[in-house]
Amino acid sequence: MAEKVLMKGNEALAEAAIMAGCRHYFGYPITPQTEVAAYMAKRMPLIGGTFLQAESEIAAINMVYGAAAAGKRTMTSSSSPGIALKSEGISYLAGSDLPALIINVQRGGPGLGGIQPSQSDYFQATKSAGHGDFHLVVLAPASVQEMVNLTFKGFDLADKYRMPVMLLSDGTMGQMMEPVSLDMGEIKEYDKSGWAACGTNCEREHNVVNSLFIQPDELERYNFERYERYAKIEAEEVMYDEYMMDDAEICIVAYGVAARVSQNAIDKARAQGIKVGMIRPITLWPFPKAVLNAAADKVKAFISVELSMGQMIEDIELATRCKKPVLLCNRVGGMIPTTEDVLNSINEANSVGGDK
């Protein structure tokens, strides 16, 4: 069995990125993702990698664009307001079919907001990470171990589907310490010679990395092709975790830190005889629609536990075709729902659903 080490979430993900073969990190300082950059600044020079502090988030994501275009595994990390600045570059990555990993250690918003944990970038990450028709794969870790595993997985998915992938974390996941195993297994290599701009060596036609297609039918064709890939991802790459769903009459839907609080609440509710379980999306895009839709035929109500103003509710309602009511249990602005908050919602769902 692999040896476990005690690590902070942000540092664990940084080490996982290195183990996944990432040697090119570009970032700009912002709380609460600082440890990622600090870790990279220490480690990269020792292993022949690049750590570069850019002049802005905009420059950092465009450096990532350059490194990705050159065929390298590359990443950036930031937090909510910084991700907003990166959205231009994220759209260009998607439009040019470039793989990259983008970490968002979310903080409260809107505007400058606060620096405490939040999940209020859900819409931004899953619906509109930039202009134009595109998606990111969005991965939501709920433990330090998952910060590690999903970083590794994120690089692989990015290369596999030639697209940017976002790890949607939050200040809690980033700051907390847990024992983790860094044994990630083999890195799968992908052949990038067909598209990477790394020099023709005068032996092939030139590669052009580009998102400009001035002929509308050509641009349409690229968009259609991209969405065929997205359909494949929706069919094959959905990840979620189920907790006590076998006999559940109430289903909590929560990700990240909200899922951890929810799990405690479920244990307490079960002790009171309430049949409640949880479906925890690990991929927020693709969203685990099928399992939720199936659950909607069994449970009497859903509760979306979030650190946002109910941004995930729409996805739950869409996935379940509004078959059952979806309650919201939330705190925002850097506040986190307590076990009691979730318990109260469970009791409410028990009575609301019971009236049906």
Partner 1 sequence: MIVFEKPKALADVPLHYCPGCTHGIIHRLVAEVIDELGIEGRTVGVAPVGCSVFAYNYFNCDMIEAAHGRAPAVATGVKRSLPENVVFTYQGDGDLAAIGTAETVHAAARGENITIIFVNNAIYGMTGGQMAPTTLPGQVTQTSPYGRNPEQVGLPVKVCELLSNVDGATYLERVAVNNVKNVKAAKKAIKKAFQNQLEGKGFSLVEVLSTCPTNWGLKPDKALEWLEENMIPYYPLGVYKDKTAEKEAE
Residues within the interface to partner 1 (CB under 8 A): 24, 26, 50, 52, 54-56, 58-60, 62-72, 74, 88-89, 92, 96, 196-203, 206-212
CB of 182 to partner 1, least distance (A): 25
The CB-of-59 to partner 1 minimum distance in angstroms stands at: 4
The least distance separating partner 1 from the CB of residue 187, rounded to whole angstroms, comes to 17
At which residue do the structure tokens 């260009």 appear?
Answer: 92
Nearest CB to partner 1, comparing residues 28 and 285: 28
Among residues 215 and 351, whose Cβ is nearest to partner 1?
A: 215
CB 147 within 8 A of CB 11: no
Name residue 177's beta-bridge partners: 8
* Minimum CB–partner distance for residue 196 and partner 1 (Å): 8
Compute the distance between CA of residue 192 and CA of residue 64 in angstroms, rounded to an integer: 16
Residue burial 241-270, b: 16+ Cβ < 10 Å; e: rest: bebbbeebbbbbbbbbbbbbbbbebbeebe
Give the nearest distance from C-beta 222 to partner 1 in angstroms: 13
What's the CA gap between 354 and 269, in Å, rounded? 16
Taking the C-alpha atoms of residue 59 and residue 55, their distance in angstroms, rounded to an integer, is: 6
Residue 36 or 68: the one with the smaller Cβ distance to partner 1 is 68
Identify which of residues 110 and 199 has a Cβ nearer to partner 1 in the complex. Answer: 199
Which pair of structure tokens corresponds to residue 226? 């991209």
Q: How far is the CB of 137 from partner 1 (least distance, A)?
A: 21
* CB contact burial 14-42 (16+ within 10 A = b; e otherwise): bbbbbbbbbbbbbbbebebbbbbbbbbee
CB-neighbour burial class of residue 205 (10 A; exposed 0-12, middle 13-18, buried 19+): exposed
Q: Give the residue with the Cβ less far from partner 1, 181 or 210.
A: 210
| Structure-block tokens of residue 239 | 């990840």
CB of 263 to partner 1, least distance (A): 41
**Beta pairing, strands 250-253 & 276-281:** parallel
Residue 60 or 137 with smaller CB distance to partner 1: 60
Exposure on the CB side of residue 214, measured as CA atoms within 13 A: 0
**104 and 125 Cβ atoms separated by less than 8 Å:** yes
Least distance to partner 1 from the beta carbon of 67, Å?
Answer: 4
Q: What Rg, from alpha-carbon coordinates, does the chain have?
A: 21
Nearest approach, Cβ of 252 to partner 1 (angstroms)? 41
Of 70 and 290, CB closest to partner 1: 70
CB of 93 or CB of 139, closer to partner 1: 93
CA distances from 260 to 33, 172, 351 (A): 20, 11, 24
Comparison of 54 and 115: residue with beta carbon closer to partner 1: 54
Residue 92, CA atoms < 13 Å, CB-side half-sphere: 17
